[in-house]
């Protein structure tokens, strides 16, 4: 027996589903003899790269994890008392293990198919209820990207509600600096003037102010009474927006009780790790009057077909893929996984537990304040929650900071004479003692150590009575039932069991690339060396992160064929926006700032026109031909018509119709010849990696959905990351940041609140690239295209494939046409989507980009057996439709119209349906062996939109059928 002493396990073989014998069978089905020959027929030769990716060879999981451990050791985890909207926290272990580290939660898709997403929807409803209760507002959304983004969205809502398209927005200079910068970035292309100043002295009659933003508590810790200022804002005709601290609101008067129209902030300190900036769930709460223009998603209560309460995403027509250029926001994503964690944190601790945590943090801050005063450093403000402002001499500031650094502590340097100190849930009395010691040492005080017990004697809150909360919160039973770990564990598991995820079956969503999120990629996210770093800690403490950032930026630049990269945008929508602002800055820098027309094909992703409008562009839609390609004649005509003002073209490649357009290079040339830039939407990059590249075909900037092509999991609708890569002439305009220097020499303003967006989940993509290597990444692309074509080939005899390339191939996804079935059988695309649930599958993308169709993307991670199981289900459903067409089943009472079928329906005493119970719930043998049960029947969407219930209804509503939802 010969021994292979050089053997190294290939991760690519674990990531890619089909094995060699299966690949041969699939190729045979497609009539080709080799994978390379197939790729030659699928990808146009004119766009093919002639060089392999210049990336290191892939390595095994354990080797790469060991390498990352060594990189992680370069980070230094200091105790951070910086604050500024970011606080260390304890992630309850039952939440850490059973949600954050659980693929049953992090591999779910956005809950568009509510019948198989009831667990996540309930968790998000808990989050909304938590936010409305703590803020004192009437309605809250299901999360946004970060606090800065939420504040910018509030500015946009105020402009929509109170502005006439112009005007000024006031921002208090006591807001966090990153929030101010994100708001300013968002306001500038909209023509909105941002006025930053002191809310106590500003003259709101000097300009037409449509709104104002304040921080509560302020960034330096003081708790202002904003009642009078709110009245001034209303008197001026504006909306009053408050950026608030959720934990502080357990003790402080909620903004809804002093006149706020909208309340925004971050839920990070509710059990979500710092992660060097993210991902974290922001929140947005407002009044019922603004529900239909509120950004983000809204979870509401409706009924299912049996009249029982059921949850869904309400007002889904607000989603940007539907509203397009009429959208008031480009945010079509959320931070679902993190919102679930924050909501569960509130469920686990309950109102009393949260109050106890807040009182402890506040109490330690009072003790610290007294201790500093005893040393002669009395903080400036008496009204505070968890943050103190301490004013010193410049030498004292330098000395205290040096002493803190020596003790591995980070304080906030507000200016050369001022320090900020923010305490949190993890702070202990010993930490307070160490802080006081740093002041003694750093200021050359000869004082003895402070005795905390003496300082704390007779301890009471210094908060004025009008600032103290008296109203109840979190009174719903869900926040008062699950405080033991046993009960909490069972509650989390009950909800998980209601949701279909990648742990059950493939999720074949076109454009969404629901591929493997390997365990090895996920493990480092919770390592303390990465998860416990404050985003504004000195960069010298984040040397490990720097290595990861630089290597990932280089890899993404190689993949896209571009010269530079910004990792800051923390969603694909943010990447689109950042890319367009970079193009805008480029035109302005060369004296062409008047260019404001953005051409967008009718096939584009819906966030494209929404992003363009937000970036200050006028959208001009260009036609597509009958094959789904961009109509070159129409594009050329529109480009000529607007050539003097042409700023950009937004194009998705391969197209949203799932086709490699042969003329993409000519398309780019048409735009460049008329002075414009080409923005490529990277949603479909999974069909390009290693075979072609945006830079190669002529684009100038591209965003990358790392939660698609580079394996960050969807998390039930977030988190995501949307870095942008740009050509050399655009590098100097990459996004900057007001706290930590990033970006180019002429950087645009901050896009996200943190310098590198949701930094901790970049580790997932770094791991993926390192384990796959250039060859593995290229092989993954080939297999993604092969899998899609195999599915298209198998389904073609039963459901026509709507678009194909010139050689008869699709790209990495295909669109099957169900529209004829409405005429022949009365069957809608929704009926097929719901029936797939009975077969154990999530539906493909429904009615996008073409109404009445399904867009299917199998990804490279699914095996041939799983692809066949899905195809067999679709074919079996086609036979069920044929039964209707040929009169063997009625049009209005059949397995499709009544789908999905629940266990409750199956076990009901009466069965008055013209098909058997077995046909309903066990349509194939494999379903009998591994049944996933939808927990509710088909939802009444119209009722859910007409009668919104956006917070937890009485618990008894979940136990008995309801004939009325109020």
Over residues 622-642, the pLDDT tens digits come to 999 888 889 999 999 999 999
315 pLDDT tier (thresholds 50, 70, 90): confident
Whole-structure pTM value: 0.96
Rounded CA separation 810/815 (Å): 9
Q: Please give the structure tokens belonging to residue 124.
A: 């998000």
**pLDDT at position 454:** 95
**pLDDT at position 958:** 43
**pLDDT at position 6:** 72
Rounded CA separation 76/118 (Å): 41
What integer is the mean pLDDT of 148-161? Answer: 95
Unique residue bearing structure tokens 């049960």? 933
- The pLDDT tens digits for 197-209 are 999 999 999 999 9
Cβ–Cβ < 8 Å for 55, 780: no
Say whether 162 sits in a helix, a strand or coil: helix
Put the strands of the sheet holding 168-172 in their side by side order. 139-140, 282-286, 262-266, 239-244, 209-216, 168-172, 193-197
- Residue 414: phi, psi to the nearest 5? -75, -45
**pLDDT at position 947:** 65
Q: With 80 as the cut, is the pLDDT of residue 163 above it?
A: no
Higher-confidence residue: 952 or 685?
685
Cβ–Cβ contacts within 10 Å for residue 822, how many? 13
Q: Please give the structure tokens belonging to residue 230.
A: 């709110």
**pLDDT at position 959:** 43
Strands 168-172, 209-216: parallel, antiparallel or unpaired by DSSP?
Answer: parallel
Cβ–Cβ < 8 Å for 915, 895: yes
- Bridge partners of residue 649, in order along the sequence: 599, 678
Provide the CB-side half-sphere exposure for 656 (13 A, CA): 23
- The pLDDT tens digits for 16-36 are 999 999 999 999 999 999 999
Question: CA nearest 47: which of 688, 709, 702?
Answer: 688
321 pLDDT tier (thresholds 50, 70, 90): very low
- Residue 546: phi, psi to the nearest 5? -60, -40
Q: Please give the structure tokens belonging to residue 564.
A: 């530079």
Higher-confidence residue: 327 or 933?
933
Burial class (CB within 10 angstroms; exposed 0-12, middle 13-18, buried 19+) of 700: buried
Rounded CA separation 399/504 (Å): 58
Q: Among 134-138, 293-297, 365-369, 381-385, name the one with the lowest average pLDDT.
A: 293-297
Q: With 90 as the cut, is the pLDDT of residue 445 above it?
A: no
**pLDDT at position 940:** 86
Cβ–Cβ < 8 Å for 698, 665: yes
- Bridge partners of residue 57, in order along the sequence: 773
330 pLDDT tier (thresholds 50, 70, 90): low
Cβ–Cβ < 8 Å for 867, 790: yes
Provide the CB-side half-sphere exposure for 264 (13 A, CA): 31
- The pLDDT tens digits for 658-710 are 999 999 999 999 999 999 999 999 999 999 999 999 999 999 999 999 999 99
Question: CA nearest 435: which of 459, 413, 404?
Answer: 404
Question: CA nearest 47: which of 769, 664, 675?
Answer: 664
- The pLDDT tens digits for 888-938 are 999 999 999 999 999 999 999 999 999 999 999 999 999 999 999 999 999
Provide the CB-side half-sphere exposure for 392 (13 A, CA): 29
Cβ–Cβ < 8 Å for 358, 217: no
What integer is the mean pLDDT of 505-528? Answer: 96
57 pLDDT tier (thresholds 50, 70, 90): very high
324 pLDDT tier (thresholds 50, 70, 90): low
Unique residue bearing structure tokens 């970006």? 743
Cβ–Cβ contacts within 10 Å for residue 740, how many? 17
Q: Please give the structure tokens belonging to residue 219.
A: 């960034």
Averaged confidence pLDDT in the chain: 94
Distance of CA 305 to the CA centre of its chain: 31
**pLDDT at position 329:** 58
For 528-556, give one letter per residue: b (16+ CB within 10 A) or e. ebbbbbbbbbeeebbebbebbbebbbebb
328 pLDDT tier (thresholds 50, 70, 90): low
Rounded CA separation 828/821 (Å): 7
446 pLDDT tier (thresholds 50, 70, 90): confident
Strands 309-314, 387-391: parallel, antiparallel or unpaired by DSSP?
Answer: unpaired
Rounded CA separation 92/103 (Å): 18
pLDDT exceeding 70 applies to what percent of the chain?
96
Rounded CA separation 764/707 (Å): 9
Q: With 90 as the cut, is the pLDDT of residue 216 above it?
A: yes
Distance of CA 42 to the CA centre of its chain: 32
447 pLDDT tier (thresholds 50, 70, 90): confident
Rounded CA separation 211/170 (Å): 6
Cβ–Cβ < 8 Å for 837, 900: yes
Burial class (CB within 10 angstroms; exposed 0-12, middle 13-18, buried 19+) of 248: buried
Rounded CA separation 491/488 (Å): 5
Q: With 60 as the cut, is the pLDDT of residue 325 above it?
A: no
Rounded CA separation 182/180 (Å): 6
Say whether 144 sits in a helix, a strand or coil: strand
Q: With 70 as the cut, is the pLDDT of residue 871 above it?
A: yes
Contacts 24+ apart (CB under 8 A), 794-798: 794/29, 794/867, 794/868, 794/871, 794/875, 795/856, 795/871, 795/874, 795/875, 798/874, 798/875, 798/878
């Amino acid at each position: 027996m010969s021994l292979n002493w050089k053997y190294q396990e290939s991760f690519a073989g674990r990531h890619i589903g089909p094995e060699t014998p299966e690949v041969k069978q699939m190729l045979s089905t497609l009539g080709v003899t080799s994978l390379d020959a197939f790729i030659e027929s699928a990808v146009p030769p004119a766009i093919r790269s002639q060089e392999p990716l210049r990336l290191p060879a892939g390595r095994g999981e354990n080797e790469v994890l060991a390498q990352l451990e060594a990189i992680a050791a370069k980070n230094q985890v200091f105790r951070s008392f910086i604050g500024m909207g970011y606080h260390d926290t304890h992630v309850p272990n039952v939440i850490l293990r059973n949600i954050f580290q659980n693929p049953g939660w992090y591999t779910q898709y956005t809950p568009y198919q509510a019948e198989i997403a009831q667990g996540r929807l309930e968790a998000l409803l808990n989050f909304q209820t938590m936010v409305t209760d703590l803020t004192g507002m009437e309605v809250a959304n299901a999360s946004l990207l970060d606090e800065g983004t939420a504040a910018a969205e509030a500015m946009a809502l105020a402009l929509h509600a109170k502005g006439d398209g112009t005007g000024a927005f006031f921002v208090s200079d006591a807001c966090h600096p990153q929030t101010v910068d994100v708001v300013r970035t968002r306001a500038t292309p909209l023509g909105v003037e941002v006025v930053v100043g002191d809310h106590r002295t500003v003259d709101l009659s000097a300009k037409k102010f449509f709104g104002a933003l304040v921080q509560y508590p302020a960034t330096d810790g003081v708790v202002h009474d904003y009642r009078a200022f709110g009245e001034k804002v209303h008197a001026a005709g504006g909306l009053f927006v408050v950026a608030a601290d959720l934990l502080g609101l357990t003790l402080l008067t909620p903004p809804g009780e002093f006149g706020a129209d909208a309340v925004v902030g971050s839920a990070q300190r509710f059990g979500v790790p710092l992660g060097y900036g993210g991902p974290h769930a922001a929140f947005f709460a407002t009044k019922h009057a603004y529900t239909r223009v509120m950004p983000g998603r809204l979870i509401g209560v409706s009924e299912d077909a049996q009249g029982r309460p059921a949850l869904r995403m309400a007002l889904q027509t607000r989603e940007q893929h539907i509203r397009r250029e009429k959208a008031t926001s480009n945010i079509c994503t959320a931070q679902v996984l993190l919102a679930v964690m924050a909501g569960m944190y509130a469920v686990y601790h309950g109102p009393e537990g949260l109050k106890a945590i807040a009182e402890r943090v506040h109490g330690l801050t009072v003790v610290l304040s007294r201790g500093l005063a005893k040393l002669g450093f009395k903080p400036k403000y008496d009204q505070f929650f968890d943050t103190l402002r301490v004013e010193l001499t410049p030498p004292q500031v330098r000395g205290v900071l040096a002493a803190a650094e020596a003790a591995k502590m980070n304080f906030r340097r507000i200016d050369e004479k001022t320090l900020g100190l923010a305490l949190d849930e993890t702070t202990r009395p010993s930490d307070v003692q160490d802080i006081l010691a740093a002041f003694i040492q750093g200021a050359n005080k000869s004082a003895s150590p402070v005795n905390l017990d003496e300082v704390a004697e007779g301890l009471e809150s210094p908060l004025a009575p009008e600032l103290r909360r008296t109203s109840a919160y979190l009174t719903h039973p869900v926040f008062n039932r699950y405080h033991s770990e046993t009960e909490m564990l069972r509650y989390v598991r009950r909800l998980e069991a209601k949701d279909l995820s990648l742990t059950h079956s493939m999720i074949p969503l076109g454009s969404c690339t629901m591929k493997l999120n390997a365990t090895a990629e996920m493990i480092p996210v919770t390592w303390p060396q990465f998860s416990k770093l404050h985003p504004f800690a000195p960069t010298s403490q984040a040397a490990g992160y720097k290595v990861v950032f630089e290597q990932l930026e280089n890899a993404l630049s190689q993949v896209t064929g571009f010269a530079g990269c910004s990792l800051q945008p923390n969603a694909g929508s943010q990447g689109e926006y950042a890319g367009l602002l970079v193009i805008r800055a480029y035109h302005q820098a060369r004296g062409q700032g008047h260019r404001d027309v953005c051409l967008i094909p009718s096939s584009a992703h819906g966030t494209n026109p929404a992003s363009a409008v937000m970036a200050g562009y006028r959208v001009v839609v260009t036609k597509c031909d009958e094959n789904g390609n961009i109509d070159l004649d129409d594009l050329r005509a529109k480009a000529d018509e607007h050539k003097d003002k042409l700023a950009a073209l937004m194009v998705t490649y391969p197209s949203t119709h799932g086709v490699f357009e042969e003329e993409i290079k000519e398309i780019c040339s048409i735009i460049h010849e008329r002075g414009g830039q080409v923005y490529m939407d990277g949603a479909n990059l999974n069909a390009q990696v290693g075979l072609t590249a945006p830079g190669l075909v002529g684009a100038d900037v591209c965003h990358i959905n790392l939660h698609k092509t580079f394996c960050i999991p969807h998390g039930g609708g977030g988190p995501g990351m949307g870095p942008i890569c740009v050509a050399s002439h655009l590098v100097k305009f990459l996004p900057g940041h007001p706290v930590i220097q990033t970006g180019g020499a002429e950087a645009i303003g901050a896009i996200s609140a943190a310098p590198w967006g949701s930094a901790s989940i970049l580790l997932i993509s770094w791991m993926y690239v390192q384990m796959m290597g250039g060859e593995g990444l290229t092989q993954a692309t080939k297999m993604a295209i092969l899998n899609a074509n195999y599915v298209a080939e198998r389904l073609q005899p039963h459901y026509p494939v709507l678009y194909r390339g010139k050689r008869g191939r699709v790209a990495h996804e295909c669109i099957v046409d169900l529209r004829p079935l409405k005429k022949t059988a009365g069957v809608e695309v929704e009926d097929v989507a719901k029936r797939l649930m009975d077969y154990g599958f999530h539906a493909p993308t429904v009615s996008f980009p073409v109404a009445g169709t399904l867009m299917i993307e199998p990804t490279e991670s699914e095996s041939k057996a799983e692809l066949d199981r899905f195809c067999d289900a679709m074919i079996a459903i086609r036979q069920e439709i044929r039964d209707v067409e040929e009169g063997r089943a009625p049009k209005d009472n059949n397995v499709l119209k009544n789908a999905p079928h629940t266990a409750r329906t199956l076990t009901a005493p009466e069965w008055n349906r013209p098909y058997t119970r077995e046909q309903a719930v066990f349509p194939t043998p494999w379903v009998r062996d591994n049944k996933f049960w939808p927990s509710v029947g088909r939802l009444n969407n119209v009722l859910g939109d007409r009668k919104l219930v956006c917070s937890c209804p009485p618990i008894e509503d979940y136990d008995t059928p309801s004939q009325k939802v109020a």
